[in-house]
Chains A and B, each alone.
Chain A
Amino acid sequence: MIRIEGLRKVYRVGEEKIHALRGVNLHIGDNEMVAVMGASGSGKSTLMNIIGCLDRPSDGTYFLDGQAVAKMSPNELALVRNEKIGFVFQSFELLARQTALENVELPLIYSREAGLTAAERTRRALEALERVHLTDRVTHRPNQLSGGQRQRVAIARAILNKPSILMADEPTGNLDSVTSHEIMEIFKGLHRDGQTVLVVTHENDIAAYCQRVVRLRDGHVLSDLSIAEDMAGRKAG
């Protein structure tokens, strides 16, 4: 599903070169649920953005479902983002003037599927909202929703087009711990239904919802272990 080899990312700030990723290798299979951890500045977001086709690597290869993403044009990347990637952000990124339902339908505006009727679009959006347990708030606007509810709308939007991979960069970063666990339960539920999930987090108890933990340090993969091994290592270390 995801096959990354020798991935590098260099940012140029004036004369200075910042090596955000220094040769990352990563394979993620179908229906895995993986946590990405690491200190601040270790390159987690940079990696997520490249996997999410929002950014391009400076070097290395990235295959998503067998497609060489690194060589794609901006239009092809947009299509991949629309059809294969579901991205959830720390700060939700909902459109303030639109209802929850409209926010969830957003990816369909840019979809290749021309023949969808309004009823079908609504049905699909409602289905997605159902999977995040939010069918009772569909006509609410973001400012009428709690943080957890907003993030659930954002997750519904991300899974609308049945993406190959659902990615979340610190999805619980703006939420209290109870709500964080509710959100992680939703991810877990989606994973149980077959969704591949990739989550960035700083917290071990959030990572505990995953089966596998990838730790980054300074743009390198420090460790890539199952959750049990990772926990054992932590206790030992």
Chain B
Amino acid sequence: MILTPYFYLQAIKLALSQIWANRRRSVLTSLGIIVGVASTTAVIAALTGLKANVLKEFESFGANRIFVFPDRPDNAPRNKYPREKIRIKPWEVKELQESCPSLRAITPVTEIGLTVASEERELDGISIVGIWPDWHEAENRRVIDGRVFNQIDERDQRQVCLLNQAAIDALRLPEEGVGSHILLGGRRFLVVGIVETVQARMFGMDGSTGEVFVPFSTALKLQPPEFFLRVVALARSAEVSEEARAEIQRTMRRIRGIQPGDPDTFQVEVIDRYIEQFKTMATGITAVAGGIVGISLLVGGIGIMNIMLVSVSERTREIGLRKAVGATPSAIMMQFLLEAVVLCLFGGLIGVLGGKVAAIGLTFIPGAPLKHADVPLWAVGVSFAFSAIVGVAFGFFPALKASRLDPIEALRHE
């Protein structure tokens, strides 16, 4: 039995007129679906906003940046992996530079704690960082005045340094800063350049902390022999950052002679990974929200089933008549299924609108990282799809009941 397009048109018209005729009952019935869809849409909107915020922060921090740290394998005995064995040595960084084609820039970074002094002031707690010139590219922080370190600075361990604006202010250096001298641990250093202030306000860093940079080789000279060293590198692009990570890992294992099966004695972190982790977490939350929705849709669905059963029994005579003029069981079935689906979609529509309103509300919460909260299109699609599925699933039994009614008995129904 083929149902004609005219049948579908009439069935949908009838469904809409039924909902309209019983509008209060329809709204109350679809409340479960409305609340379920509205709350998920709102949660998804909040997550979307949060994600947009976090991704933006990560991006400003540099998604293709890679860090290498010394790392003692978990639960490994201290004597098997002594500090000396796991700490990163300068020659290892040189080796990485040679062997990792996916890297655009790589620099060792070491921090030393020495007093920093000018003629005016003497300061403690300013970090002195030893770097290669590649650092500017790896950290995306340029020299805005003066020059970067050059080969000779590095080779001759020259006593030159770069400052940021905060350090210049703290040391009360003359306006331009470049050309002044400062004392690091009592040694005279020439200020050759000014490094731009850090942009990313993440991980506790901001532009108000004073920073002093010296050539890496110079830092080694100032350093006690047991020093801590990490590596900052930049992949050629975010796309190859995972490849670059693998190259670093392979090279490090090779030069450290780590046997297959033995754990790494270092750790390679790609910012990308944090993004992935965040995305995983967001997906997890979405799944939990989905579960909650599942339950509320179940409750909503039972409401729909109930009202459809009421509708079938209220309209028993009508069903009998429709059968008498030629409606097949499948036509009756389809009509009641459509009615349940339309009712659910109507609930879904109100729910999505409610979620949208909630999302707009979220963006006005002061201080919350939800400025970008919005209902994504896929969530609207999923909401409607789920509503329709609930309609079919819970409308099925009442529709089956209607389709199986005996025409004579139905027409005799009071």
Where the two chains meet, the residues of A that have a C-beta atom closer than 8 Å to any C-beta of B are 49, 52, 54-55, 74-75, 78-79, 81-83, 87, 89, 93, 95, 97, 106-114, 116, 121, 157, 161
**Which residues on A sit within 8 Å (CB–CB) of B321?**
93, 95, 106
Please measure, in the bound complex, the distance between the C-alpha atom of A75 and the C-alpha atom of B1, giving whole angstroms: 7
**Which residues on B sit within 8 Å (CB–CB) of A87?**
324-325
- Is B243 in contact with chain A by the CB < 8 A criterion? no
- Is B255 in contact with chain A by the CB < 8 A criterion? no
Binary A-proximity of B283-326 (CB < 8 A = 1, otherwise 0): 00000000000000000000000000000000001101111111
Contacts A93-B317, A114-B6: A49 and B328 contacting too (C-beta < 8 A)? no
Contacts A93-B317, A93-B321, A116-B6: A78 and B21 contacting too (C-beta < 8 A)? no
Would you give the shortest CB distance from B414 to chain A, in whole angstroms?
11
The interface centre, meaning the residue of B317, B318, B325, B407 with most chain A CB atoms within 10 A of its CB, is B325
The interface centre, meaning the residue of B1, B2, B6 with most chain A CB atoms within 10 A of its CB, is B6
A78 touches B326 (CB 8 A): yes
B326 touches A111 (CB 8 A): yes
A93's partner among B21, B328, B411 (CB-CB below 8 A) is: B411
- Is B257 in contact with chain A by the CB < 8 A criterion? no
Please measure, in the bound complex, the distance between the C-alpha atom of A102 and the C-alpha atom of B173, giving whole angstroms: 92
Contacts A54-B408, A93-B411, A110-B328: A78 and B323 contacting too (C-beta < 8 A)? yes
Contacts A54-B407, A110-B7, A111-B4: A157 and B328 contacting too (C-beta < 8 A)? no
**Which residues on A sit within 8 Å (CB–CB) of B323?**
54, 78, 81
Please measure, in the bound complex, the distance between the C-alpha atom of A124 and the C-alpha atom of B335, giving whole angstroms: 24
Please measure, in the bound complex, the distance between the C-alpha atom of A106 and the C-alpha atom of B1, giving whole angstroms: 18
| A/B pair count, beta carbons within 8 Å | 76
**Which residues on A sit within 8 Å (CB–CB) of B4?**
111-114
The contact sample of 8 A-B pairs, CB cut-off 8 A, is A54-B408, A54-B411, A78-B327, A78-B328, A82-B326, A93-B321, A95-B321, A112-B2
Please measure, in the bound complex, the distance between the C-alpha atom of A116 and the C-alpha atom of B6, giving whole angstroms: 9
A106 touches B322 (CB 8 A): yes
| Contact-residue size bin, chain B (C-beta under 8 Å from the other chain) | 20 to 34
- Is B329 in contact with chain A by the CB < 8 A criterion? yes
A109 touches B329 (CB 8 A): no
B325 touches A110 (CB 8 A): yes
Contacts A54-B408, A110-B331: A79 and B6 contacting too (C-beta < 8 A)? no
Contacts A49-B408, A110-B331: A81 and B318 contacting too (C-beta < 8 A)? no
**Which residues on B sit within 8 Å (CB–CB) of A55?**
407-408
A106's partner among B5, B320, B325 (CB-CB below 8 A) is: B325
Please measure, in the bound complex, the distance between the C-alpha atom of A190 and the C-alpha atom of B141, giving whole angstroms: 97
Q: In B389-404, which residues have CB < 8 Å from any A CB?
A: none
- Is B180 in contact with chain A by the CB < 8 A criterion? no
Please measure, in the bound complex, the distance between the C-alpha atom of A164 and the C-alpha atom of B411, giving whole angstroms: 22
Please measure, in the bound complex, the distance between the C-alpha atom of A75 and the C-alpha atom of B329, giving whole angstroms: 7
**Which residues on A sit within 8 Å (CB–CB) of B1?**
75, 78-79
A89 touches B411 (CB 8 A): yes
Please measure, in the bound complex, the distance between the C-alpha atom of A222 and the C-alpha atom of B96, giving whole angstroms: 111
Please measure, in the bound complex, the distance between the C-alpha atom of A109 and the C-alpha atom of B318, giving whole angstroms: 14
A79 touches B330 (CB 8 A): no
Would you give the shortest CB distance from B135 to chain A, in whole angstroms?
75
Please measure, in the bound complex, the distance between the C-alpha atom of A113 and the C-alpha atom of B318, giving whole angstroms: 23
**Which residues on B sit within 8 Å (CB–CB) of A161?**
326
B325 touches A107 (CB 8 A): yes
**Contacts A81-B323, A109-B11, A121-B6 known; 15 new A-B pairs at CB < 8 A:** A54-B407, A54-B411, A55-B408, A78-B327, A79-B1, A79-B326, A79-B328, A87-B325, A95-B318, A108-B6, A109-B6, A110-B7, A110-B322, A110-B331, A116-B6
B21 touches A97 (CB 8 A): yes
Would you give the shortest CB distance from B403 to chain A, in whole angstroms?
9
**Which residues on A sit within 8 Å (CB–CB) of B318?**
95
**Which residues on B sit within 8 Å (CB–CB) of A93?**
317, 320-321, 324, 411
Would you give the shortest CB distance from A13 to chain B, in whole angstroms?
13
**Which residues on B sit within 8 Å (CB–CB) of A52?**
324
A82 touches B325 (CB 8 A): yes
- Is B237 in contact with chain A by the CB < 8 A criterion? no
- Is B10 in contact with chain A by the CB < 8 A criterion? yes
Contacts A97-B21, A111-B4, A114-B6: A157 and B408 contacting too (C-beta < 8 A)? no
**Which residues on A sit within 8 Å (CB–CB) of B320?**
93
Name the residue of chain B whose CB is nearest to the CB of A158. B325
B326's partner among A49, A97, A107, A114 (CB-CB below 8 A) is: A107
Please measure, in the bound complex, the distance between the C-alpha atom of A109 and the C-alpha atom of B330, giving whole angstroms: 13
